[in-house]
Chains A and B, each alone.
Chain A
Amino acid sequence: MPVFECEGRMYEVDEDGFLQEPERWSQDVAKDFAQTEAIADLTDGHWKVINYIRNYYLQFGIAPMVRKLCKETGYKLNEIYQLFPSGPAKGACKLAGLPKPTGCV
Chain B
Amino acid sequence: MEPLSTEERRKAFASAKKPDIVRKQRLPVRYHVEDFDVTDRPRRFLQAFAAILKHTNYRVALDHYVRVSAKCARCSVKCQVYLATGDERDVPCHRSELLLSVYRRHFTVSGVLRARVLGDAGLTDDKIQEMAESFYNCTACRRCYFECPMGVDHGLITHLGRYILSEIGIVPRALAVSVREQLLGATGNTSAVPVPALIDTLEFLSEEIKDGIGVDVSFPVDRQGAEYLFLPAVSDFLMEAETLMGNATVFHATGDSWTIGTGYFDGINYGLFYSDQILEHVVKKIQVEAQRLGVRKILIGECGHASRSAKYFYPAFCGGKDALPVINIMEYTHQAWKEGRLKLKAGAIAERVTYHDPCNIARPGWIVEQPRELLKAICGDYVEMTPNRRDNICCGGGGGTVSIDEIQPYRTLVGGKAKADQIRATGAKYCVAPCANCKKQLRELVAEHGIDCQIVGLHDLLYKAIVFG
Contact = CB atoms under 8 A, between A and B. Distances in A.
Interface of A: 2, 15-16, 60-68, 71, 89-90, 99, 101-105
Contacts of A64: 201
16 contacts: A15-B17, A16-B17, A16-B405, A60-B197, A62-B197, A65-B204, A65-B237, A66-B238, A66-B239, A67-B204, A67-B241, A68-B201, A68-B204, A101-B191, A101-B238, A104-B191
Given A2-B18, A15-B18, A68-B204, A62 B193 contact: yes
B267 to A, nearest CB: 10
Contacts of B316: none
Contact of A104 (B32, B190, B201): B190
Nearest to A17: B17
A99 B253 CA distance: 39
Main secondary structure of the interface of B (DSSP, over half): helix
A86 to B, nearest CB: 10
B21 interface: yes
Contacts of A60: 194, 196-197, 200
A16 B32 CA distance: 10
B335 to A, nearest CB: 26
6 interchain residue pairs of minimum CB distance = A103-B190, A67-B241, A103-B191, A60-B197, A104-B235, A102-B178
Contacts of A90: 405
Contact of B233 (A61, A101, A104): A104
B378 interface: no
A11 B77 CA distance: 49
Interface in B200-225: 200-201, 204, 208
Interface residues of B, number: 38
B189 interface: yes
Contacts of A89: 238-239
B437 interface: yes
Interface in B16-49: 17-18, 21, 32
Given A65-B238, A89-B238, A102 B196 contact: no
A105 B194 contact: no
Given A67-B208, A103-B235, A105-B239, 11 more contacts: A15-B21, A60-B197, A65-B204, A89-B239, A102-B181, A102-B192, A103-B192, A104-B190, A104-B303, A104-B403, A104-B436
